[in-house]
Amino acid sequence: MMDRIVLASGSPRRRELLHQMGIDDFEVLAARGEETAPAGLTPAELVRHLALQKAREVAALRPEATVIGADTVVVLDGAVLGKPADAGDARRMLSALSGRAHQVYTGLAVLRGGRTISHAECTQVHFRALTAEEIDAYVATGEPMDKAGAYGIQGRACTLIRGIEGDYYNVVGLPVCALYEALGRLEAETERKEPLP
């Protein structure tokens, strides 16, 4: 049976996705350390690095648990778009995304008993062309302010997006299929190592 699960993220969206997966008994212990990464990493390497950093910080506090770390970035023309600093920054990001395709990368790290599984998922997102008025109205909702790339696909931004290629839940912030597979692998490894009765 899987040990206690700890989510190393304060994201309410990630909590909701764990519940959606049928995982209801888990602890939330958000990583607090400064997010740092070496220069020159690709977006996939960056999110894996940051997810591992978060998971390792929390695993040091809960060594008996299965710890899940995640990190999401939006990438346009190779440039990483994080969370907007203010409303003007959100407008700038949304204007840049308007009418174009971009990538959303989420790094996933699952740690248990000294074993680590890490993964990076990429989803392509296509925005329709947005008017300045539409961008202003969306920014005025406040929704973009705590989200990478200044939008939340699961919220009001659903009207801004023409389509996606890949895992929808990855854009929300947690690639649930990859997480399910990682948890299954760790469970199977544990069962193989348990002594026979």
**Least confident piece of the model among 39-43, 95-99, 189-193:** 189-193
Reported confidence tier of residue 165, pLDDT bands at 50, 70, 90: very high
Separation between Cα atoms, residue 146 and residue 120, nearest integer Å = 21
**Residue 157 near residue 94, CB atoms below 8 Å:** no
- In this model, does residue 195 exceed pLDDT 70? no
Helices 132-140 and 87-97: crossing angle, nearest 10°? 140
Q: How far is CA 159 from CA 17, 77, 134, 181, in A?
A: 21, 23, 10, 31
Q: How confident is the model at residue 197 (pLDDT cuts 50, 70, 90)?
A: very low
Q: Report the mean per-residue pLDDT for the chain.
A: 93
Task: Look at the chain and report how many structural domains it folds into.
Answer: 1
Would you say residue 161 has pLDDT above 70? yes
pLDDT, tens only, 45-64:
999 999 999 999 999 999 99
Token representation of residue 38:
């070496």
What is the CATH classification number for the domain harbouring 105?
Answer: 3.90.950.10
**pLDDT score of 152 more than 90:** yes
Q: 185: which residues sit within 8 A by CB, 6+ positions away?
A: 117
Range of the domain at 32: 5-193
| pTM of the shown model | 0.91
71 is known as an active-site residue: yes
Residue in 25, 71, 86, 89 annotated catalytic: 71
Q: Any residues with CB less than 8 A from the CB of 153 and at least 6 apart, and which?
A: 125, 161, 164, 168, 171, 172
The CA distance from 34 to 127, in Å, is: 32
